[in-house]
Amino acid sequence: MSKVEEVFARNKADGQDTLVGYFPAGFPNVEESIEACVAMCENGVDVLELGVPYSDPVMDGLVIQQATEVALENGFKLGQIFDIVEAISSRVSTPVLVMTYWNPVMQYGVRRFAEDLKEAGGEGLITPDLIVDEAGEWLKASDDLELDRVFLATPTSTQERVDALVAASRGFVYTVSTMGITGARADLDAKARSVVEKVRNSPVERFTAVGIGISTSEQVSEVNDYADGAIVGSVFVNAYKSAGLEGLIALTKSLSK
Amino acid sequence: MSEQGNLRDIKGPYFGEFGGRFVPESLIAALDQLEETYRQAQADPTFHYELAELHRTYTGRPSILTEVKRFAEHANGARVILKREDLNHTGSHKINNVLGQALLAKRMGKKRIIAETGAGQHGVASATAAALFGLECVVYMGEVDTKRQALNVARMQLLGAEVRPVTTGSKTLKDAINEALRDWVTNVDSTHYLLGTVAGPHPFPEMVRDFHSIIGIEARAQMLEEFGALPTALAACVGGGSNAIGLFHAFLDDQDVQIFGFEAAGEGMDTQKHAATLNFGKPGVLHGARSYMLQNEDGQTIESHSISAGLDYPGVGPEHSWLKDLGRAQYRGISDDEAMQALRLLSKTEGIIPAIETAHALAGVLKLGFELGSDATILVNLSGRGDKDMETAGKYFGLLGS
């Protein structure tokens, strides 16, 4: 069982909700993003999803787009992702998964990226624009290095595709709740339940967390009723933008209560 | 290239190591549906008949060949022949693909189409098809491009489309595609993304190429019939690469026909301000396919620069990347100024005002004439007309007063 899977299993055994929290690396700069992530981990985030800023983030809504643009304008370099993972991991025991679009990893070298992530204490990757069909090199590297790999299951995925991506995933399966891109929504889409159903129907058993559009503590607990965890992103960025570390801590506490 | 078999027969998803589907899982079902619908249409004579009738009665196909002797005097006296895609309805080659995809959207029961546009030519073509087929149409266009192509924005609006300016990133074609992809992810059930070039995830590169391949198929037959021989060389401008692959494809297995694509070198091949992806890029993943792209060492996309909105794109279709690596086609850079001078030259010598995009190919021809010699016959894809560029050209040549 990977460290991420242990967290899900423990919370499940204890009847606790699981909160996966996203924050962009390097936003607004490297130092502040480390402090923000540590604060999230210390105040109730169970698994940290650390985002790599990328020039063409097609799965992200405006809030995260703007935040990662700031990170890039402030000079974020890809190699710093490992420094940030290492700094966070040295201060908290919360497992850290890196969320990244695929081109930066390709350019860095898939194997080399995996090795440096492992070395830094990272647990694996969440890959929003990499489907299992194109993931050959990453499947091998993550097997060799025992890293988690989180693929996305969506409302339009057939049972056959869900079966394949569930089998290929490790850590958990990222259930996309709406057909939208990331960004807080007023209501959670009922489609999430049908995706979770497909994940549950797969021959291979995996934890699954629901993301995209989750912004309130009610939604976090609602999702935890039928899935194994809830993934929250944009509202963390908004909280930090509007009220700094204090606002971020208050939000984390309210979402994980 | 015998070990490759026929180059013309290559289908997606991969062109050598290029192509594929590097997109969010959310889009896979729509891409599968599109591919399935396309395969069925290919096997259905009704589809071919419908498209051919539209081309005959609406597009105005076949487009003619025009030999340009006065222009050719400036190309070392080589014969220069234009394939007149500028005479198509809507003024460019883009209509070939748009009508094909609109028929597919109809078959899929999708009532809403979205499109990206740089110069506005694909946006205008998409808005036109939407009007013709009674579809809702939203066109994403970088804010920078809405300004330099204001006339085309008005055209799209007149045709009933909604133009949404894109204000993120470099505010040009690349970001318009990002925004269209976001829209598609959100509205995939009701919406067809009418991608306008031979880039993007499978099946787009293959399908868009097929719809444009009529350019080369016609031109090849017309060359044999009207000139009694195949050309020495082909020339076309390359942004995403749709008009170029449309011309090239029918000739890929004609070993004696040399193939030249001309990219935008912007302020020059010795500057950082260019859009010469195949000359200066590295393989990577952008907008769903593996291909050459302009990027830094971290894999962040580098903004491209060109006076021509339609070539101002840091990526290129995967089949071009493959043809480059095979050595079957050569890709060269043409600066803003070289293109503008060629635009004026064709206008003055032949009475044909080309689009600035197309002028890159014409500037390339002026050089090719000296390289290939006066015996050469060069077939150029005159991919679009220049009406939309009058403001840019007017300013460039100081014709608008001050």
CATH number at residue A79: 3.20.20.70
Chain B residues lying within 8 Å of A69, measured CB to CB:
168-169
Contact: B21, A180; criterion CB under 8 Å: no
Chain A residues lying within 8 Å of B187, measured CB to CB:
179
The verdict on residue A256 lying in a domain is no
Which tokens belong to B149?
């192509």
B84 and B155 part of one domain = no
Contact: B29, A158; criterion CB under 8 Å: yes
Whole-angstrom distance, CA of residue A113 vs CA of residue B120: 40
User: B165, B94, B89, B87: which is closest to B123 by C-alpha?
Assistant: B94
Mean pLDDT of B303-328: 96
The verdict on residue B368 lying in a domain is yes
**With the CA atoms of B375, B381, B387 and B388 taken in that order, what torsion angle do they form, in degrees rounded to the nearest 10?**
-130
Whole-angstrom distance, CA of residue B316 vs CA of residue B310: 12
Q: Is the dihedral of CA B180, B181, B182, B183 positive or negative?
A: positive
B182 and B242 part of one domain = no
Whole-angstrom distance, CA of residue A20 vs CA of residue A45: 6
Mean pLDDT of B262-271: 96
| Residue A224 backbone phi and psi in degrees, to 5 | -65, -15
DSSP 8-state symbol, B150: H
**Residue B308 near residue B264 (C-beta atoms within 8 A):** yes
The verdict on residue B69 lying in a domain is yes
Among A59, A107, A161, whose Cβ lies nearest the Cβ of B28?
A: A161
The verdict on residue A253 lying in a domain is no
pLDDT in tens, B137-187: 999 999 999 987 888 999 999 999 999 999 988 888 999 999 999 999 889
The verdict on residue A257 lying in a domain is no
B122 and B241 part of one domain = no
The verdict on residue B293 lying in a domain is yes
Mean pLDDT of B43-54: 98
B199 and B151 part of one domain = yes
Chain A residues lying within 8 Å of B289, measured CB to CB:
none
Which one of B208, B239, B267 terminates a domain? B208
Long-range contacts of B147-153 (CB under 8 A, 24+ apart): B148/B309, B148/B391, B148/B392, B149/B119, B149/B120, B149/B309, B149/B388, B150/B391, B151/B120, B151/B387, B151/B388, B151/B390, B151/B391, B152/B117, B152/B119, B152/B120, B152/B121, B152/B123, B152/B124, B152/B388, B153/B120
Which tokens belong to B377?
């016959």
pLDDT in tens, B90-109: 999 999 999 999 999 999 99
Chain A residues lying within 8 Å of B287, measured CB to CB:
56, 58
Determine the structural domain holding residue B40 and report its residue range: 24-56+94-208
Residue type for position A40:
M
Sheet holding B136-142, edge to edge: B162-166, B136-142, B112-117, B191-193
Whole-angstrom distance, CA of residue A94 vs CA of residue A97: 10
Q: What is the largest CA-CA distance in chain A?
A: 46
Mean pLDDT of A187-216: 90
**Distance from B121 to chain A by nearest Cα, in Å?**
23
The verdict on residue B265 lying in a domain is yes
Residue reference for tokens 């995967």: B318
Q: Residues A5, A46, A60, A163: which is the catalytic one?
A: A60
User: A155, A176, A156, A174: which is closest to A165 by C-alpha?
Assistant: A174
**Taking the mean position of all CA atoms in its chain, how far away is CA B126?**
14
Whole-angstrom distance, CA of residue B104 vs CA of residue B90: 20
B contact test, residue of A52, A54, A55, A110 with most B CBs within 10 A: A55
pLDDT of the residue at A187: 53
Q: Does B28 touch chain A (CB under 8 A)?
A: yes
Stated pTM of the model: 0.95
B84 and B176 part of one domain = no
A contact test, residue of B32, B179, B291, B298 with most A CBs within 10 A: B298
Determine the structural domain holding residue A14 and report its residue range: 3-248
pLDDT in tens, B205-243: 999 999 999 999 999 999 999 999 999 999 999 999 999
B298 and B166 part of one domain = no
B285 and B389 part of one domain = yes
Whole-angstrom distance, CA of residue A111 vs CA of residue B303: 28
The verdict on residue B174 lying in a domain is yes
B75 and B113 part of one domain = no
The answer to whether the complex's ipTM is over 0.90 is: yes
**Distance from A252 to chain B by nearest Cα, in Å?**
28
The verdict on residue B158 lying in a domain is yes
Contact: B301, A151; criterion CB under 8 Å: no
The verdict on residue A118 lying in a domain is yes
pLDDT bin (cut points 50, 70, 90) of residue B335 is very high
Angle between helices A80-89 and A30-42 (to 10 degrees): 30
The verdict on residue A91 lying in a domain is yes
Residue reference for tokens 């003619």: B64
Q: Which residues pair with A20 in a beta bridge?
A: A47, A231
Contact: B287, A78; criterion CB under 8 Å: no
B223 and B165 part of one domain = no
| Residue B5 backbone phi and psi in degrees, to 5 | 70, -155
Which class for A21: exposed (0-12), middle (13-18), buried (19 or more C-beta within 10 A)?
A: buried
The verdict on residue A191 lying in a domain is yes
Which one of B185, B208, B231 terminates a domain? B208
Which residues have a Cβ under 8 Å from the Cβ of B103 and sit 6 or more positions away?
Answer: B41, B47, B50, B51, B54
B85 and B104 part of one domain = no
The verdict on residue A14 lying in a domain is yes
**Residue B295 near residue A103 (C-beta atoms within 8 A):** yes
pLDDT of the residue at B172: 87
DSSP 8-state symbol, A179: S
Residues of B acting as catalytic residues: 94, 116, 383
Which one of B208, B234, B257 terminates a domain? B208
Chain A residues lying within 8 Å of B26, measured CB to CB:
152, 154-156, 176, 179
Which residues have a Cβ under 8 Å from the Cβ of B57 and sit 6 or more positions away?
Answer: none
Q: Which residues pair with A126 in a beta bridge?
A: A99, A150
Q: Is the dihedral of CA A77, A248, A97, A92 positive or negative?
A: positive
The verdict on residue A79 lying in a domain is yes
Q: Which residues pair with A208 in a beta bridge?
A: A173
Q: Which residues, numbered 177 to 196 in chain B, qualify as contacts with chain A under a Cβ-Cβ cut-off of 8 Å? A: 178, 181-182, 185-189
Mean per-residue pLDDT of chain B: 96
Mean pLDDT of B37-63: 98
What is the CATH number for B178?
A: 3.40.50.1100
pLDDT in tens, B57-90: 999 999 999 999 999 999 999 999 999 999 999 9
Whole-angstrom distance, CA of residue B192 vs CA of residue B209: 18
Q: How many domains does chain A have?
A: 1
Q: In chain B, what percentage of residues exceed pLDDT 70?
A: 99
Q: How many domains does chain B have?
A: 2
Q: Is the dihedral of CA B310, B316, B318, B323 positive or negative?
A: positive
| B33 or B147, which is more confident | B33
Residue reference for tokens 């629901």: A210
B226 and B81 part of one domain = yes
Q: What's the 3-state SS for B231-277?
A: CCEEEEECCCCHHHHHHHHHHCCCCCCEEEEEEEEECCCCCCCCECH
